[in-house]
């Protein structure tokens, strides 16, 4: 009932096993529904799926390719979830929209959109309409907007991202400053960072405040580097010196605001721009957290949810990298110790057998291993500090961000904003484990709010 028509070596072993399950043949459609429902249940499990979500994406895609009767069952299962989307957790809803956008992009943008056209009769904040808009936004991250629009029924065109380039309104507002034109001319002439820094000292600070100068320079840099991520990074690196000086004067929140504002409305660039600012060390994670907390009552709008995940993911990745480096050094140390022990024992055995020449070689190998041990021990001593520092940063960033957002929405926010905050808390419950009480207390005195936060953290109230 569930045998594939064809097989390819490119399919994952999990797909092969699911496709060849010895299921009963009297109700083959029910067997396929069961597999589809199980895959979705695993992918959308809270707080996190057992495997990375893309693992389930690939299995579903492969099953659709090798079993001709599976796609309709998958689509009907998706339809049932779409009808009940208002009862689905926000985090699970995000994962479902990620999967659907990926699925559609891998199958020539084919989807029965006509069955979703009724969402245009719903209010802007209706769950089904918001889900449909989110799927289209993520689909535009994976394909050209023009292609997506051609594949879409005309009734749903208003749900497509309105802006696929820079936010012209934000750029035009920055262009009203007199110094903006001067900075644009300097960038067009490819003057380097030290030259712009010199201009700031000689004339810039006399013409405008540091905040105006930072906004003008950052907008000019991002506008000029809008062609692609490579151009974006090249321009940021070229003018890192003046940007850092201005950030020290007015705070990194201004630069984060520019990155988010310039790309507001774009399907994907705002979170990427903020991530590049962090990676190039132009702003600190604390600045991103402060910027997000200033918008706590609007959390979830304007890429704020994605940017929150970016900053949490960034500090967690730094911690994982530090731990990985320490583990690598420990592995090398163990190998060197084993090599020294083995060479020493071999030298003794060879000497006892009168094979002195070979024993000397073994002793030399032992000496080299001992030297390596000293080197690795020294490296290990310096590897602990980065792990401790990055661990402290992760704890501080996640506590301040999640605690601040919980406190911000406790005084009054929409249900949608509160759900987004709880989803963020749930996503990072592991990092918040030591500070669960502080997060719960930030919810205020209302028992229902505290219970919701405790449930998101996975701890008893």
Contacts of 325 (CB under 8 A, 6+ apart): 383, 386
Q: How confident is the model at residue 273 (pLDDT cuts 50, 70, 90)?
A: very high
Name the 3-class secondary structure at 145. Answer: helix
Indicate whether 354 pLDDT > 70.
yes
**pLDDT score recorded for residue 267:** 81
User: Which of 22-36, 359-373, 384-398, 447-461 is predicted with the least confidence, judged by mean pLDDT?
Assistant: 22-36
Q: How confident is the model at residue 258 (pLDDT cuts 50, 70, 90)?
A: very high
List, as own/partner pairs, every contact residues 341-344 make where C-beta atoms lie below 8 angstroms and the sequence separation is at least 24, other chains included.
343/369
Q: How confident is the model at residue 19 (pLDDT cuts 50, 70, 90)?
A: confident
> Buried (b) or exposed (e) across 231-243, using 16+ Cβ within 10 A?
ebeebbebbbbbb
User: Which of 20-29, 219-228, 293-302, 357-366 is predicted with the least confidence, judged by mean pLDDT?
Assistant: 20-29
Average pLDDT for 201-208: 94
**pLDDT score recorded for residue 6:** 39
The two structure tokens encoding residue 40: 């979705």
Indicate whether 1 pLDDT > 50.
no
Average per-residue pLDDT for the chain: 91
Average pLDDT for 154-159: 94
Q: What tens digit of pLDDT does each residue of 300-331 get?
A: 887 899 999 999 999 999 999 999 999 999 99
Indicate whether 229 pLDDT > 60.
yes
**Spatial distance between the Cα atoms of 174 and 168, rounded to a whole number of angstroms:** 10
Say if residues 427 and 47 touch (Cβ distance below 8 Å).
yes
The percent of residues above 90 in pLDDT, for the chain, comes to 77
**Spatial distance between the Cα atoms of 428 and 91, rounded to a whole number of angstroms:** 12
Average pLDDT for 200-226: 95
Q: How confident is the model at residue 5 (pLDDT cuts 50, 70, 90)?
A: very low
Indicate whether 13 pLDDT > 50.
yes
pTM of the model: 0.85
Q: How confident is the model at residue 4 (pLDDT cuts 50, 70, 90)?
A: very low
Indicate whether 365 pLDDT > 80.
yes
Average pLDDT for 241-251: 96
Average pLDDT for 93-100: 95
Q: How confident is the model at residue 14 (pLDDT cuts 50, 70, 90)?
A: confident
**Spatial distance between the Cα atoms of 299 and 301, rounded to a whole number of angstroms:** 6
Q: How confident is the model at residue 28 (pLDDT cuts 50, 70, 90)?
A: low
Mean pLDDT is highest, among 7-16, 222-231, 279-288, for 279-288
Helix axes 178-188, 210-224, angle to 10 degrees: 40
The two structure tokens encoding residue 258: 């520019």
Q: What tens digit of pLDDT does each residue of 327-343 get?
A: 999 999 999 999 999 99
Nearest CA-CA partner of 208 in 175, 171, 248, 180: 180
**Spatial distance between the Cα atoms of 63 and 11, rounded to a whole number of angstroms:** 9
The two counts, helices (H) then strands (E), for the chain are: 22, 0
Q: Residue 236: is the preceding peptide bond cis (ω within 30°)?
A: no
* Sole residue written with tokens 């449909």: 132
**Spatial distance between the Cα atoms of 121 and 129, rounded to a whole number of angstroms:** 9
| Alpha helices (runs of H) in 7-144, residue ranges in sequence order | 13-19, 28-43, 53-66, 70-83, 90-105, 127-142
Other Cβ atoms within 10 Å of 61 Cβ, number: 19
Q: What tens digit of pLDDT does each residue of 385-444 get?
A: 999 999 999 999 999 999 999 998 887 778 888 899 999 999 999 999 999 999 999 998
**Spatial distance between the Cα atoms of 187 and 189, rounded to a whole number of angstroms:** 5
The two structure tokens encoding residue 305: 């949810």
**pLDDT score recorded for residue 25:** 59
Indicate whether 88 pLDDT > 50.
yes
Q: What tens digit of pLDDT does each residue of 101-133 get?
A: 999 999 999 999 999 999 999 999 899 999 999
**pLDDT score recorded for residue 68:** 85
Burial class (CB in 10 A: 0-12, 13-18, 19+), 9: exposed
Average pLDDT for 263-291: 94
**Spatial distance between the Cα atoms of 333 and 85, rounded to a whole number of angstroms:** 53
The two structure tokens encoding residue 343: 């060479």
Task: For the chain, state the CA radius of gyration.
Answer: 28
Is 16 or 94 the better-scoring residue by pLDDT?
94
Say if residues 239 and 255 touch (Cβ distance below 8 Å).
no
Other Cβ atoms within 10 Å of 290 Cβ, number: 17
**pLDDT score recorded for residue 153:** 94
């Amino acid at each position: 009932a569930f045998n594939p028509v064809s097989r390819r070596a490119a399919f994952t072993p999990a797909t092969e096993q699911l496709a060849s399950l010895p299921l009963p043949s009297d109700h083959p459609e029910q067997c396929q529904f069961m597999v589809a429902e199980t895959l979705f249940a695993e992918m959308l499990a809270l707080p996190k799926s057992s495997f990375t979500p893309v693992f389930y994406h690939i299995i579903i895609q492969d099953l659709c390719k090798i079993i001709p009767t599976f796609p309709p069952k998958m689509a009907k299962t998706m339809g049932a979830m779409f009808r009940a989307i208002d009862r689905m957790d926000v985090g699970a809803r995000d994962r479902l929209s990620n999967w659907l956008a990926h699925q559609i992009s891998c199958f020539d943008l084919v989807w029965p959109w006509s069955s979703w056209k009724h969402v245009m009769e719903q209010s802007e904040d209706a769950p089904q309409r918001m889900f449909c808009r989110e799927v289209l936004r993520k689909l535009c991250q994976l394909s050209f907007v023009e292609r997506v629009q051609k594949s879409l029924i005309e009734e749903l065109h208003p749900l497509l991202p309105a802006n696929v380039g820079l936010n012209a309104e934000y750029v035009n507002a920055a262009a009203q400053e007199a110094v903006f034109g001067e900075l644009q001319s300097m960038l067009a002439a490819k003057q380097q960072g030290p030259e712009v820094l010199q201009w700031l000292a000689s004339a810039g600070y006399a013409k405008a405040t540091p905040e105006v100068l930072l906004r003008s320079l950052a907008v000019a840099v991002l506008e000029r580097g809008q062609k692609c991520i490579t151009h974006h990074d090249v321009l940021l690196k070229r003018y890192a010196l003046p940007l850092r000086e201005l950030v020290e004067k007015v705070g990194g929140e201004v630069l984060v605001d520019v990155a988010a504002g310039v790309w507001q409305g774009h399907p994907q660039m705002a979170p990427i721009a903020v991530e590049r600012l962090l990676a190039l060390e132009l702003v600190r994670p604390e600045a991103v957290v402060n910027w997000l907390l200033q918008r706590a009552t609007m959390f979830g709008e304007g890429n704020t949810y994605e940017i929150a995940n970016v900053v949490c993911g960034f500090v967690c990745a730094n911690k994982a990298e530090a731990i990985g480096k320490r583990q690598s050094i420990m592995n090398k140390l163990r190998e060197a110790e084993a090599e020294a022990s083995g060479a020493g024992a071999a030298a003794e055995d060879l000497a006892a057998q009168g094979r002195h020449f070979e024993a000397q070689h073994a002793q030399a190998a032992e000496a080299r291993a001992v030297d390596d041990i000293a080197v690795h021990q020294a490296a290990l001593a310096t590897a602990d500090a980065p792990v401790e520092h990055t661990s402290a940063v992760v704890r501080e960033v996640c506590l301040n961000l999640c605690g601040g957002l919980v406190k911000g929405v406790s005084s009054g926010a929409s249900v949608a904003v509160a759900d987004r905050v709880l989803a963020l808390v749930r996503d990072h419950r592991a990092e918040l484990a030591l500070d669960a009480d502080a997060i719960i207390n930030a919810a205020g005195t209302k028992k229902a709010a505290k219970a919701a936060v405790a449930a998101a953290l996975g701890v008893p109230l």
